[in-house]
Structure formats: structure tokens, C-alpha cells
Amino acid sequence: MSATLSQEPLVALLGTPNCGKTALFNLLTGSRQKVANYAGVTVERKEGSVPLPSGRRLRLLDLPGAYSLNAESEDEVVTRGVLLGDVEGERVPDLLVCVCDATQLQLNLRLVLELKKLGQPMLLALNMSDLAEKQRIAVDLQRLSELLGIPVVRTVGVRRGGANELLQQLDAAGLTAGPRAPAKWSPSSLDDIVDTHKQVRHLLEQVVQSPSLDRRWDEPFDRLLLHPVAGLAILAAVLFCMFQAVFIGAEAPMGWIEDGATWVGEWIGAAMADGPLRSLLVDGIIAGVGGVLVFLPQILILFAFILALEDSGYLPRAAFLLDRFMGKVGLSGRSFIPLLSSFACAIPGIMATRTIPNRHDRLVTILIAPLMTCSARLPVYALLIAAFIPTQTVGGVFSLQGLVLFGLYLFGVLGAIVVAFVLNKLFGRNEHHPLLLELPAWKLPNWRNLSLGLYERAKIFLRRVGGIILTMTIVIWALSSYPLGADGKPLPITESFAGMLGKWIQPIFAPLGFDWQICIALVPGMAAREVAVGALGTVYALSAEGDAVEAALIPILAQQWSIASALALLAWFVFAPQCISTIAIVKRETQSWKTALGMTGYLFALAWLAGAATYQIAVWAGLG
């Protein structure tokens, strides 16, 4: 049902970034959410249904975070537009719920005072009240409510029952759905801003009691972590440890999954007679899907680090730390978090560029985001590293395989830096504006949020395994098994449709040392990077004879490939275009097929050159 036709009251949830607004939205709505885009723009629109204690329901709209109605970024423009009735298909909310971080009222109250001037019904939710109590920050809610002239409630967005008081207040408000007149608003002048700061100071003096803020307990940590030299060294060490853990911590569970897949394949192979169905199950599905599923532990370890760093408050500090360096290649520190998000998947990373107010910086960030190594590339990296890099330590401490993985991620980052520098030269470099960023308070990661985040990532990965990867694996099996010979039996795989396709495109990749089997894997790898592993598993399972059919893929590759070819394939995947979904999202975000196809073209060229150079150098070094 559209926003204008719904008979349920519409409540808008808004606040500054890092105030816990989205956590509160998730607590209130649970799984009763639907996500779309606002008309004409790429800003995400999140709406949920909230049951009230009385049994009535209301619609809750999670507006993008904004520091002020004097908007800069596309997200902030949408937030202001919804409040003023300027967004197509969106009616003016019946009530505003402004979420404030109870530990950072001096930053959040400015937005509250701006919203009050709109004259719309409003309620203030003091979120993170539990953290405020731990920091001995006392807020007089009744006095604050009297001074502001609006209801004020406490909330804890990460705790069950943390929004009960808010729900009761919403229920008591007796909201009804109906058309409301748009508010009137004009940009704040310098005098208005100064006056707002004075009002905030007056409110704080009246309602907040807290320990002396002359010296915060975390200042020594911030001085160290934000130091231009020590901070960068610590950031590099954190990322290095993350990649070490990906290999060291995942070794045992990967072995369990691999043994399980091998056992299932052997059991089915022994229980069924030879034929197409047995070949599909053993050589196709189990060899292909099982070869991808084995990398789930590594993906979960990688995401555990990223989610913990995000929840602790370290990521905004890393963005601030890298601002000066990124400015030298024409980017701002705001590009850091979208680029870091791209290590998980380029799609949310590209969508996160909406928070970058400068259109030039946003475009360059979008174009280099695919160079960040997404989690879909991890199975390919892990497979080739396990096959060709020995399991030994360097200096008695560091895993050589972990070092190589770290190097691949670093290679992608360095490539992105060079590309950003070149793009800025081509587009005309803008003046670098220093980054102004609110640093959230340090906190221990919330284990419930971390567990839910890992559960969601595992569900997404398994859905891909059961969807696109399974489908493409079956397609590869069919192409590798047909046509049949005159006697009705499968021909050698070299004479199959897949073999013919691989041989047809192999001359293009001959300078990279790729044989026809590798070329076959590159084609479905465009649908999803992990499919390349499944495709190799299927192709080599069908190529094998006798007991070798059930053999693991890693020793097969180690035996049949040269180190030079493996290194060239790693270099190819560092720079190769992302999946088709990423290309589509670039088109949607930039509103330009020219940009999306141009990005795809430069990535293909870069990947081919990197792979060819790597192969030729490796052959020259005697690794061919």
C-alpha cells in the first residue's frame, strides 16, 4: 500500500548518525520491514510496521541520518524533503521521533531545536541511556521536557524491552492518519547557528549533570590511534591480524566441511549406478557446491572482524586517520567507510557513497570500489593459496598463506589508489576539504548484534550457494557432459560444449597462461565470483578418471597447474570486474550506462594486463 493511501499513522524516526536510530528501528519493527528507494533518487527508504500495546499499529519510517536540516549530502536532502512534504509519493509524517545519543547531547540537541521550529508534533527519545548511566551522566527528563515543550523518553535500542516507554508514549498520543500541511523552513543564517549553540548550552546547564569533561578516559587511546604515524601502523597491524586469522582460525572447520563433502560424494557414488543422475550429483553438485561451501568459515571470520571494528567505534577513527592520505589522491576520508564496506560486498559499499556530499568524490569512490577485494573473491584466493603456497610460518610467528592473502588485499588497495589518482587527473582534481567527523564513544562490541550480523552473512552466503552457485554449477555440468557420442555415452570433456567454449576463448588469455579449463571458470564467474571455484570443481571432476573423481580440488590444481598460471589468475581476480549485480548497481547509482560500462572496460583491461605481466615475470623467474 502506498504512503498516501495507508490509513495507519505515519511516524518518522530521525536523528544524527551514530545515535543508535537504526538499532531502535530494528527493535521496534523486527522483521516487519520493507526496503525500497525514494522516487527519483537512490536513497534507501526503510519502513516498518509497529504494534502498539493497545493493539493498534502505526507505520515507522527510518529517515537517513542528518546533523542538520541545512543539508549537504543526498541523504540529508531526502530527510529534509520528507519533513517539508517535498518528496514525491511521501506524505508529511503525523509525528516526529527524534533520537538522541544520551551521551552526546551537546551534539544532538542542535538538530532537536531545528526540528522544533518546523512546528510539527514531536517526541524526543534519549537513546543509549544505559551507556549514559555507566558514564555517570544524569539527564533530568522532566525538566528537559518542560524546556523543550515535547515529551521525552529513555530508550536502549540494543536491549529487549528498551523501547517499552516509547511504545507507551506513542500509544498514548492517539495518533490518527491524515493529510498534514507541509512545514515552512528557511536555511539557517550565521546568527541562527550562533543562537542555536547558545540555546544548547543553556539546556545542558539546566538538565545534565556529568563528571568533569576536561579529560575523557579514552583520550590517550585516541591520541595514539589518531597519530599520523603510530595510528597508521596500528591500522595496518589490525588488518594484518584479520587476514592471518582468516587462514589460521578457519583451518579446522574448513577441514570438517571438506571431509563431509567428500564422504557424501563417496556415499552417493557407491550407492548409485553409473549414469547422468549420478554424474550430476557427484561430479556436478557435490564437487561444485561443496568446493564453495568449504570457505564459509573464512568468510565468517572476516566479517566477525569487520563487524567488531564497526561496533567498537574504530572505523570512523580510521576514516579520520586516512583523510589526509586520501586527500592526496583526490578523495576525502568519507570515502573510507564505503570502500571498507566493499571488502564485504561492493554493492552496499557503492550504495554507502550516498553519504559523500561532493559529487566528484562520490563518482571516483564508486569507480574504485570494485577494486576492494569482496568476500566473493575469498574462496578463489583461498583455493589458489592453499594449492600453491606452502603451510609454513615466517619468522616462526606469521602464516605465509596469511601473508600472501594480506598482500592480495593490499595489491587491490594500491591499485585503487593509483586509479583514483589517474581519474582525478582526467576529471580535474577538486580542492580537498578537510573531513569533519563525529567520533562515537568507544564501546565493547555487542555480542548479540555481532551474532545476528554473522547469522545474516551466513544466510546470504548459503542462499547464494543454494541459488546462483547451484544453478551455474548445474549449467557447467550440462555444458561439460554434452553432447553425447554416437554410442549414447559422454564424449571426453574436451569435445563437450564447455570444452569448445574454453578452447574458443583460450587464445585471448594465452598470454596469461590460462588453459581452457580456467577459461571456462571465468565465464560463470561473472555471475558470482564464487562460481569460478564451483566451475573448476565440476570441470576437473568430469575430467578425472577412476578414484580421482572424488579427490579434493586443491591437490588436483597443485598437480596440473604451473605456479605462474596460478599467480596470473590471482592477479586477474584482484582487478577483474565484479559480478553483474555490481555493474547494475553502478548504473543505478550513477544513472549512466556509459559510466557502468566504462568501469567494466577499464577493470577488464587492468586485469588482463596485471595477469599477463604476472605470468611473464613468473615464467622469466623459472616458475612456469
Q: Which three cell numbers stand for residue 1?
A: 500500500
Grid coordinates 554473522 are at which residue? 454
Cβ–Cβ contacts within 10 Å for residue 566, how many? 24
**Residue 139 marked as a ligand binder:** no
CA distances from 27 to 3, 10, 44 (A): 22, 17, 19
For position 544, what pLDDT does the model report?
Answer: 58
**Residue 449 marked as a ligand binder:** no
44-51 vs 57-62, strand pairing mode: antiparallel
Grid coordinates 587462514 are at which residue? 247
Segment 516-533 shows an average pLDDT of 82
Q: Considering only residues 373 and 5, tell me which one the structure prediction assigns the higher pLDDT.
A: 373
For position 137, what pLDDT does the model report?
Answer: 87
At 34, give phi and psi (nearest 5°).
-140, 140
Q: pLDDT tens for residues 72-84?
A: 677 788 888 888 8
Q: pLDDT tens for residues 211-269?
A: 755 556 677 888 898 898 999 899 888 888 887 887 788 878 888 888 888 888 889 88
Q: How sure is the predictor about 122, in pLDDT bands with cuts at 50, 70 and 90?
A: very high
Q: pLDDT tens for residues 348-398?
A: 788 778 778 778 888 999 999 999 988 788 888 988 998 898 888 887 777
Alpha helix (H) residue ranges in 428-576: 447-464, 470-481, 497-509, 516-522, 531-543, 553-560, 563-575
Segment 6-25 shows an average pLDDT of 84
* CA proximity to 86, closest of 186, 181, 185, 182: 182
Contact criterion met (CB below 8 Å) for 43 and 64: yes
Segment 132-161 shows an average pLDDT of 87
Cβ–Cβ contacts within 10 Å for residue 249, how many? 15
**Residue 499 marked as a ligand binder:** no
CA distances from 445 to 44, 137, 234, 441, 550 (A): 26, 21, 19, 12, 42
**Residue 600 marked as a ligand binder:** no
Lowest mean pLDDT segment, chosen from 200-209, 259-268, 455-464: 455-464
**Residue 426 marked as a ligand binder:** no
Contact criterion met (CB below 8 Å) for 410 and 386: no
5 has a pLDDT exceeding 60 = no
For position 98, what pLDDT does the model report?
Answer: 94
**Residue 103 marked as a ligand binder:** no
For position 6, what pLDDT does the model report?
Answer: 56
For position 67, what pLDDT does the model report?
Answer: 84
**Residue 40 marked as a ligand binder:** yes
CA distances from 288 to 91, 341, 493, 530, 553 (A): 50, 28, 16, 10, 10
398-399 vs 393-394, strand pairing mode: antiparallel
**Residue 127 marked as a ligand binder:** yes
Average pLDDT, the chain: 82
Q: Where are the domains of the chain?
A: 10-209, 249-294+446-561
For position 150, what pLDDT does the model report?
Answer: 93
38 has a pLDDT exceeding 50 = no
547 has a pLDDT exceeding 70 = no
**Residue 393 marked as a ligand binder:** no
**Residue 37 marked as a ligand binder:** no
**Residue 128 marked as a ligand binder:** yes
37 - beta bridge partners?
A: 44
Torsion-angle region of 456 (φ positive above 0: left; ψ -120 to 50: alpha; else: beta)? alpha
For position 259, what pLDDT does the model report?
Answer: 85
546 has a pLDDT exceeding 50 = no
For position 521, what pLDDT does the model report?
Answer: 86
% pLDDT > 70, the chain: 91
**Residue 550 marked as a ligand binder:** no
Grid coordinates 544520551 are at which residue? 102
For position 182, what pLDDT does the model report?
Answer: 67
Q: pLDDT tens for residues 304-360?
A: 888 888 888 888 788 788 887 787 777 777 787 788 778 877 887 887 787 787 788
Contact criterion met (CB below 8 Å) for 528 and 472: yes
**Residue 64 marked as a ligand binder:** yes
Q: How sure is the predictor about 44, in pLDDT bands with cuts at 50, 70 and 90?
A: low
Contact criterion met (CB below 8 Å) for 497 and 479: yes
Q: How sure is the predictor about 549, in pLDDT bands with cuts at 50, 70 and 90?
A: very low
**Residue 326 marked as a ligand binder:** no
CA torsion sign for 570, 576, 582, 585 is: positive
Grid coordinates 563525529 are at which residue? 438
First and final CA of the chain: distance in angstroms? 62
HSE-up (13 A, CA, CB side) for residue 282? 27
Segment 461-471 shows an average pLDDT of 78
**Residue 489 marked as a ligand binder:** no
For position 4, what pLDDT does the model report?
Answer: 40
129 Cα distance to chain centroid: 28
For position 429, what pLDDT does the model report?
Answer: 60
**Residue 445 marked as a ligand binder:** no
CATH superfamily of 10-209: P-loop containing nucleotide triphosphate hydrolases (3.40.50.300)
DSSP symbol at 24:
H
36 has a pLDDT exceeding 70 = no
Q: pLDDT tens for residues 182-192?
A: 667 777 777 77
Q: How sure is the predictor about 146, in pLDDT bands with cuts at 50, 70 and 90?
A: very high
Q: Report the range out of 3-7, 448-452, 484-488 with the highest average pLDDT.
A: 448-452
Max intra-chain CA distance, the chain = 92
CA distances from 242 to 181, 268, 292, 408 (A): 53, 38, 21, 13
At 126, give phi and psi (nearest 5°).
-85, 100
